[in-house]
């Protein structure tokens, strides 16, 4: 058993922000499934939305966020995040993050404009912002003596009082599988932070890395936390369409800098779908592309910025330009083939303004959490901002909490399980799940499709639970278990929402209800029951 003041599960921007703001005062254990840098944050191309220009205002950033959120944003939370945007960016700059400079800008930095934004307010590091931020913070993490990093470790489950027959229901730590040693460890902590990111791998096509398997959301649900708004899956409109381009995102900023969406013959189609054309929010653009592809039987559409000067394109999008060239696409001369792909989950573990969940001692930050910031659709580049603001908020709250008496936790028990005999079952179930989620719970939904998905999920649940009960755990099994649980939560939430709002579009319920309400799933008994209620 290993003990820390705080254990953080996940090494994206949210988790690293919490760790660095606690490390001078607390002993930190940081758990990451692969290497420290592997995760969705490092893949972020666009940047961080913040009010930095003199022509911009907090009120306008809030309004843009609320409009994108389609009536479901918590306005107080949106205000809190936006009001702290400048300070959060300054904290990153202080850490050494090198954002793209612009001598002619009143902020001193180049600010991009993305879909749904009324101003240029996205500060970035060329088209590899996440990589710059993560590598900078990674160096700080590795150098700090109070932070112990556990790479190639995957969380199995949270250890909460009711599961180990304690009188309280506090979270006391986590069981973690050391993937290299093939051994489960017991880690105890006064405070546990879920910062595991999203669950894009529940879909066949996604912009997310392989690590995005809904671990924190599934663990939070199993521990008894409320889960909210899981039906709102953001499909990024422009993922590179190429057989060798796995999960490569074409940044929103390409459209922000003048890129147009067109058919193979060059016909532009977005103005027919929305007056904002290519700068409409992501849900509108993704549905428009989906409509055009299905209507015309297309494999993809095209994003064209070749009308801009070559030097401009290479300067602003060096990573995208280089990757496209590797695949034989010269974006300075020809359009880029693109398709929508699962990108971001707006729902998650219900957390308050301090990142606190329903379970004492347990926090959730970043994409894992539902804070009310994004509503029914996340505004572009508000995600990294949320990671920063709530990472700082959670760290501040943890520092204010009193010490917790040490609790002796039971070690992981493998006495009644054996080695798996048919590992291929896991890969088959994984493939089946991702395909039917793409077909039945994608950009456009129907009640019949959701029912079909729910039936298949129930079968997978039974198979996986039996497998989990009888065989030793593995990384693949744990991820599949979490993905199926997350898929179940997505489908439950989608079936409860009988309207079309934001990222959830149903052919059976195409209209908008007069009252915007959150979908909240809550385990009231041993068998999960659901309640649609406002939070």
pLDDT at residue 507 above 50?
yes
Per-residue model confidence (pLDDT) at position 309 = 97
Residue 421 — pLDDT band, cuts 50, 70, 90? Answer: low
Q: Quote the DSSP letter at residue 122.
A: E
CATH code for residues 424-512: 1.20.58.100
Q: Shortest CA distance to 117 belongs to which of 82, 144, 142, 86?
A: 82
Q: Which two tokens stand for residue 177?
A: 């599988």
pLDDT at residue 126 above 90?
no
53 or 416: which leads in pLDDT: 53
What is the fold of 235-342? Flavocytochrome C3; Chain A, domain 1 (3.90.700)
Q: Shortest CA distance to 382 belongs to which of 99, 8, 13, 11?
A: 13
Residue 527 — pLDDT band, cuts 50, 70, 90? Answer: very low
What is the fold of 2-231+346-400? FAD/NAD(P)-binding domain (3.50.50)
* pLDDT per position as a tens digit, 57-97: 999 999 999 999 999 999 999 999 999 999 999 999 999 99
Cite the beta strand spans of 356-461 per DSSP E: 362-364, 369-370
Residue 532 — pLDDT band, cuts 50, 70, 90? Answer: very low
Q: Quote the DSSP letter at residue 447.
A: H
Mean of pLDDT over the chain:
92
Q: Which residues, 6+ apart, have CB-to-CB distance to 283 below 8 Å? A: 234, 235, 377, 502, 503, 505
pLDDT at residue 135 above 50?
yes
3-state secondary structure string across 478-529: HHHHHHHHHHHHHHHHHHHCCCCECCECECCCCCCCCCCCCEEEECCCCCCE
Per-residue model confidence (pLDDT) at position 422 = 66
Cite the beta strand spans of 92-182 per DSSP E: 111-112, 122-123, 147-150, 153-160, 171-178
Q: What does each C-alpha distance from 66 to 56, 72, 76, 97, 344 come to in angstroms?
A: 16, 8, 11, 29, 17
* Cα 112 to Cα 110: distance, rounded to the nearest angstrom: 7
Task: Cite the DSSP H helix spans in 151-251.
Answer: 215-223
Q: Which two tokens stand for residue 483?
A: 């993905």
Averaged over 322-337, what is the pLDDT?
96
pLDDT at residue 323 above 90?
yes
pTM of the model: 0.90
Is 3 annotated as catalytic?
A: no
What are the extents of the domains in the chain? 2-231+346-400, 235-342, 424-512
How many C-beta atoms surround the C-beta of residue 289 within 10 A? 25
Which stretch, 33-37, 44-48, 262-266, has highest mean pLDDT? 262-266
Per-residue model confidence (pLDDT) at position 467 = 86
* pLDDT per position as a tens digit, 3-43: 999 999 999 999 999 999 999 999 999 999 998 877 767 76
Catalytic residue among 113, 255, 282, 481: 282
């Amino acid at each position: 058993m290993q003990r820390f003041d705080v254990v953080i599960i996940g090494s994206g921007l949210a988790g690293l922000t919490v760790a660095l703001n606690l490390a001078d005062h607390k002993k930190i254990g940081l758990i990451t499934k692969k290497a420290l840098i592997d995760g969705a944050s490092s893949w972020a191309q666009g940047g961080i939305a913040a009010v930095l220009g003199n022509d911009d205002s907090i009120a306008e950033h809030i309004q843009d966020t609320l409009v994108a959120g389609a009536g479901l944003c918590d306005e107080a939370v949106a205000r809190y995040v936006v009001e702290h945007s400048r300070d959060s960016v300054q904290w990153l700059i202080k850490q050494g993050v090198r954002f793209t400079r612009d001598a002619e800008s009143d902020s001193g930095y180049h600010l991009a404009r993305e879909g749904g934004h009324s101003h240029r307010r996205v500060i970035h590091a060329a088209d590899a912002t996440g990589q710059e931020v993560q590598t900078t913070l990674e160096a700080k993490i590795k150098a700090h003596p109070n932070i112990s990093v556990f790479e190639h470790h995957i969380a199995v489950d949270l250890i909460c009082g009711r599961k180990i027959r304690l009188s309280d229901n506090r979270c006391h730590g986590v069981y973690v599988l050391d993937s290299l040693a093939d051994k489960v460890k017991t880690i105890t902590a006064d405070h546990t932070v879920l910062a595991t990111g999203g669950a894009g791998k529940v879909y066949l096509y996604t912009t997310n890395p392989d690590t995005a398997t809904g671990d924190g959301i599934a663990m939070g649900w199993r521990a008894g936390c409320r889960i909210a708004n899981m039906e709102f899956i953001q499909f990024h409109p422009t993922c590179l369409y190429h057989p060798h381009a796995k999960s490569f995102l074409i940044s929103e900023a390409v459209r922000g800098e003048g890129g147009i969406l067109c058919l193979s013959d060059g016909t532009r189609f977005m103005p027919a779908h929305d007056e904002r054309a290519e700068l409409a929010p992501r849900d509108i653009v993704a549905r428009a592309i989906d409509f055009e592809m299905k209507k015309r039987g297309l494999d993809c559409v095209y994003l064209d910025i070749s009308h801009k000067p070559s030097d401009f394109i290479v300067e602003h999008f060096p990573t995208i330009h280089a990757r496209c060239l590797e695949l034989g696409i010269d974006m300075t001369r020809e359009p880029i083939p693109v398709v929508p792909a699962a990108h971001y989950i707006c729902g998650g573990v219900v957390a308050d303004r301090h990142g606190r969940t329903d379970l004492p001692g347990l926090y959730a930050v970043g994409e894992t959490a539902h804070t009310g910031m994004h509503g029914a659709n996340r505004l572009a580049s508000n995600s990294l901002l949320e990671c920063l603001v709530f990472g700082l908020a959670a760290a501040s709250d943890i520092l204010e909490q009193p010490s917790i008496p040490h609790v002796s936790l039971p070690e992981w028990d493998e006495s009644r399980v054996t080695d798996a005999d048919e590992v291929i079952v896991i890969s088959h179930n994984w493939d089946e799940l991702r395909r039917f989620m793409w077909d039945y719970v994608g950009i456009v939904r129907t009640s019949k499709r959701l029912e079909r998905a729910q039936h298949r999920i129930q079968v997978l649940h039974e198979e996986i639970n039996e497998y989990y009960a009888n065989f030793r755990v593995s990384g693949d099994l744990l991820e599949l278990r979490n993905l199926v649980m997350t898929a179940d939560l997505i489908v439950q939430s989608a079936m409860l929402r009988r309207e079309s709002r934001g990222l959830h579009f149903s052919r059976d319920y195409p209209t908008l209800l007069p009252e915007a309400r959150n979908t909240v799933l809550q385990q009231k008994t041993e068998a999960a029951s659901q309640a649609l209620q406002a939070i």
